[in-house]
Amino acid sequence: MVYVRQEFLPNLKQYKYSGVDHSLTSKYILKPFYTNVVIKCFPMSMAPNLITLSGFMFVVANFLTLLWYNPTLDQDCPPWVYYSWAAGLFMYQTFDAVDGTQARRTHQSGPLGELFDHGVDALNTSLEVLLFAGSQNMGQTWYTVTTLFASLCTFYVQTWDEYHTKTLTLGIVNGPVEGVLILVFVYALTGYMGGASFWQQSMLGALGVPKTLGIPDYIYELTFTQWYMVQGLVVLVFNTIESARNVIKARRARGDRSRGALLGLLPFFGTWLVIVAYLYLEPVIRTQHLVPFVMFAGIVNAYSVGQMITAHLVKLDFPYWNILILPLTFGVIDSLGPILQEHVGWASGWPSALGDGVYQVAFMFCLLGMAIGVYGSFVVDVIVTICDYLDIWCLTIKHPYVEPPANGKKKI
């Protein structure tokens, strides 16, 4: 399948990265560290995309330890596991930030770098949700599903914002900087406290707040994890509203209508309507096989984000359609039939083609396999197309930059 037609490829040469980072942590702490220390560890011959991919391997290693020690997301791991998660995530953040500096100093900046960087970040988001759920002993519950929704929504909205405003804007406190550092701290503290069960106690009680203050029991008994989720939902709503304001402002400045842009949020929320319906109708997936389903949902979101970034680079119309939602919609319709027959009447429903139990599990793994195949073909096709057109390589430097002579004359 062709994802980028030849007539749109000349737009790649008009690409110019635009990003604004208002984070004080990034400005005064991280960027000096990256520029003066970290970047010197990478040779000039190393491609920026290879740095990005290498950083992602730390997260993959973290995910493998999660599958080994805590596949059900509700068990305590050895302390060193949590420390390794903290170190791995910090290394991922460092490599992800340094790739841009490497691209500039090797003169390899271009649209492929932004596409590759966003694609890796999108995959990391769902894996990091599973790691965080494992660090909190959330288990295979709606808590993990809610955390996944908030994380994927934040990433989708940020990419939607960038598509319309043409600028990647990071606030004073943002996910790629402060959000990641908070997770690093949480992982390290989990290891220090001896396991994820620490977070399942009342936060106010653990902090020594007396019950005599008149705090209602349902608030006083909220765990650390539940307080985190409340805070996360508040931040999600704020960031979504702020991004919507940015898009409306940018569209109006160009003389475009804002309502069409806001419709770009519907694919995400429509997809999640189907996801929640499927998990509700098939509790066996939510309670026993949530990890592979989270990976499936993450790839669905990565595919949508990848389409948006590609459309941004070659100036295509906004991509509203995600084919990966079709089989999941079939799963919802298939599961809904027997319920309608049972509660409304036999004439209002239909028998399930998949049945329940092992067949639903097999269907879910088929969804994951199909998602990997479709997204993989998209990634390979777009990368190969861009590399062929720009005469570059993805993970190596095809045309190393040669510094011109100081006198301005060509060397013979």
Residue 59 confidence (pLDDT) above 90: yes
Computed over every residue of the chain, the mean pLDDT equals 91
Q: What is the pLDDT of residue 235?
A: 86
**For the segment 145-185, what is each residue's pLDDT rounded down to a tens digit?**
999 999 999 999 999 999 999 888 887 888 888 889 999 99
Name the residues annotated as catalytic: 118
Give the position of tokens 């653990």: 206
Q: What is the pLDDT of residue 250?
A: 86
Angle, CA 45 vertex, CA 43 and CA 48 arms, to 5°: 85
Question: In a 3-state reduction of DSSP, which class is residue 21?
Answer: strand
Give the pLDDT band of residue 406 (cuts 50, 70, 90). low
Residue 407 confidence (pLDDT) above 70: no
Q: Residue 73 and residue 142: Cα distance in Å, rounded?
A: 12
Give the pLDDT band of residue 409 (cuts 50, 70, 90). low
Q: For residue 91, how many other CB atoms are within 10 A of its CB?
A: 18
Residue 411 confidence (pLDDT) above 50: no
Q: What is the pLDDT of residue 1?
A: 62
**For the segment 234-269, what is each residue's pLDDT rounded down to a tens digit?**
888 988 898 899 898 888 888 777 777 889 999 999
Q: What is the pLDDT of residue 346?
A: 65
Phi/psi of residue 126, nearest 5 degrees: -70, -35
What's the CA dihedral at 147, 150, 152, 155 to 10 degrees?
-140
Give the pLDDT band of residue 214 (cuts 50, 70, 90). confident
Question: DSSP letters along 153-209, please?
Answer: HHHHHHHHHHHHHSSEEE-SS-IIIIIHHHHHHHHHHHHHTTSGGGGGSBHHHHTT-
**For the segment 66-120, what is each residue's pLDDT rounded down to a tens digit?**
999 999 999 999 999 999 999 999 999 999 999 999 999 998 988 999 999 999 9
In this prediction, residues 51-57 reach a mean pLDDT of: 96
